[in-house]
Amino acid sequence: MASHLATRTSNPRTILPVVLLAAFTFALFQSVLNPVLPALQEDLQTTPTLVTWTMTAFLLSASVATPVLGRLGDRYGKDRLLVASLLTLAAGSVISAVAPGIGLMIAGRVIQGVGGGILPLAFGIIRDEIPAAKVPTAIGTASALTAVGGGAGIVLSGPLTELLGIRSLFWIPAALALATAAAAFAAVPPSPSRNPSPISWSATALLAIWLVALLVPLTQATGWGWTSAAVLVPLTAAVLLAYIWVGVESRSDRPLIDMKMMRTTAVWTTHVVSLLFGVGLFTVMTFLPVYLQTPPGSGYGFGSTATQAGLLLLPLTVTMFLAGLVAARLDHRFGARAVLIAASGLNVAAITMLVFGHGSRVLVLFSLALLGLAVGTGFATMSNVIVAAVRPDQTGVANGITANVRTVGGSLGVAVMTAILGAHSSADGPPAEAGYTYSFALLAFVGVAAVAVAALIPVTRPFPRTDRNRR
């Protein structure tokens, strides 16, 4: 193996496709179960509450692993950690594929979530290995593919379940992850930039504990009750532990996450915008398929099948990808701040259209196309702002946090919309249409907040060259 590592050289033409495929693969895992949870519940003979833990477990694991593996990649080599993350993703998928019951299924999903480190590692490898002039476009493409992978998971889950059975949703991604791991091992050379400081495992443990204390009650609040001790106690603990964690990291000479970096205006504003985008995107992707499948006899909905609902989300997936491809050119011409403000404005327009036009199939499709443009442009621009604002050895962890706060935003949005729909539901039927209207309106207000924060992002300097990028 050592001799093989020594012979690997940097070839952007082979590295970039592999890194892009890795980002797409993880994003596919993230969303592929969303539309088919009822079918998975039936397959496992479990309860609705327990089957949702297949999503919660993945979310928790990815939220903890993403910044940690980004930091480990900065220290030990992004190439090694990328291969390890892909292999872990495949292993967890195989465990879930053969799971006879909900317990082993959840364990497999926890292991899959560790693959969340793929995203920050991918961005770091792009910065290390791709010629500097091409880095913004490459990052934009990678960001677009992470969004497209999430959309593809929703689109493909219904047809795959109908044709090959629900376990195919684990076997096929496992094969894809293994193939990508092999390609990454062959194509990605050792990382040229390293952060030599050791990892603070006490800070890592604190981070894991407060993230779990935050996300578990958010994802379970509707069932447990927002005012119950089971929700309020861990949320309070999460705030206190996060405060302690920040203090520990600020005083540490080997922090897991550099608080000085986090206080940089370009970094913290981008992270806030990422969180607010996450609220809108993940909430729409979670609940719109449910809305589309609601029988028209309920007073709304289109009575779509799971497959049809996934296909109706195609405009979102396609425009996300196309927008990511052109985002770098827009950034170069108009500046990242202007582009991110415009993307945030498009996000508001798209969700506002859902508020007033969700009864029209044409308007829903058009709003999803607009949302895809907003998200594809926004994600790509945010990633480029972060990469330009931090040192090469901080790229992995900084982009890991960007992905992480987006996930936290999605969890918060889903929890709040679940509560709103629950308040407008009867015991024996779907939620009233007003629940969706009020929820989409709230998401539009969140989008307005994203516009305001995007306006605070400073004008960024041109992307800095590293020694490896001077080609």
In the block, which residue shows the tokens 């607009």? 370
Question: Integer distance in angstroms from the first to the last C-alpha of the chain?
Answer: 28
Q: At what angle do helices 118-129 and 135-164 cross, to 10 degrees?
A: 140
Q: Give the confidence band of 460 by pLDDT, cuts at 50, 70, 90.
A: low
Q: 121-155: string of b/e by CB count within 10 Å (b at 16+)?
A: bbbbbbbbbbebebbbbbbbbbbbbbbbbbbbbbb
> What value does the mean pLDDT take over residues 64-93?
87
Q: Output the CA torsion 66→72→74→77 (10° steps).
A: -120
Per-residue pLDDT tens digits for 316-370: 888 888 888 888 888 888 888 999 999 999 999 999 999 999 989 899 999 999 9
* Per-residue pLDDT, 2: 42
Per-residue pLDDT tens digits for 2-45: 444 444 556 777 888 998 899 888 888 877 887 787 788 888 88
Q: Give the confidence band of 219 by pLDDT, cuts at 50, 70, 90.
A: confident
Q: Which CATH number fits domain 2-199+256-469: 1.10.357.10, 2.60.40.10, 1.20.1250.20, 1.10.3720.10?
A: 1.20.1250.20
Is residue 144's pLDDT more than 50? yes
Q: Give the confidence band of 427 by pLDDT, cuts at 50, 70, 90.
A: low
* Per-residue pLDDT, 466: 43
Per-residue pLDDT tens digits for 227-263: 899 889 999 999 999 999 999 888 877 777 788 888 8
* Per-residue pLDDT, 456: 93
CA nearest to 281, candidates 145, 410, 451, 411: 410
Q: How many CB atoms lie within 10 A of CB 197?
A: 16
Sequence-ordered list of residues with C-beta below 8 angstroms from that of 321, at least 6 positions apart, any chain: 144, 145, 147, 148, 372, 376
String of DSSP letters for 251-298: H-SS-SS-HHHHHSHHHHHHHHHHHHHHHHHHHHHHHHHHHHHS-GGG
Mean pLDDT is lowest, of 68-77, 334-343, 430-439, for 68-77
Is residue 117's pLDDT more than 90? no
Residue extents of the structural domains in the chain: 2-199+256-469
Tokens of 3: 């001799």
In Å, what is the CA distance from 244 to each residue of 203, 238, 239, 261?
Answer: 10, 10, 9, 18
Q: Give the confidence band of 464 by pLDDT, cuts at 50, 70, 90.
A: very low
> What value does the mean pLDDT take over residues 96-122?
89
Give the span between the Cα atoms of 345 and 324, in whole angstroms: 16
**Could you tell me if 404 and 270 are in contact, meaning their C-beta atoms sit under 8 angstroms apart?**
no
Give the span between the Cα atoms of 202 and 251, in whole angstroms: 13
Percent of the chain with pLDDT over 70: 93
Name the range with the highest mean pLDDT among 195-199, 213-217, 238-242, 397-401. Answer: 238-242
Higher pLDDT, 348 or 386: 348
CA nearest to 337, candidates 466, 457, 202, 208: 457
* Per-residue pLDDT, 468: 44
The DSSP element (H or E) to which 159 belongs, if any, is: helix 135-164
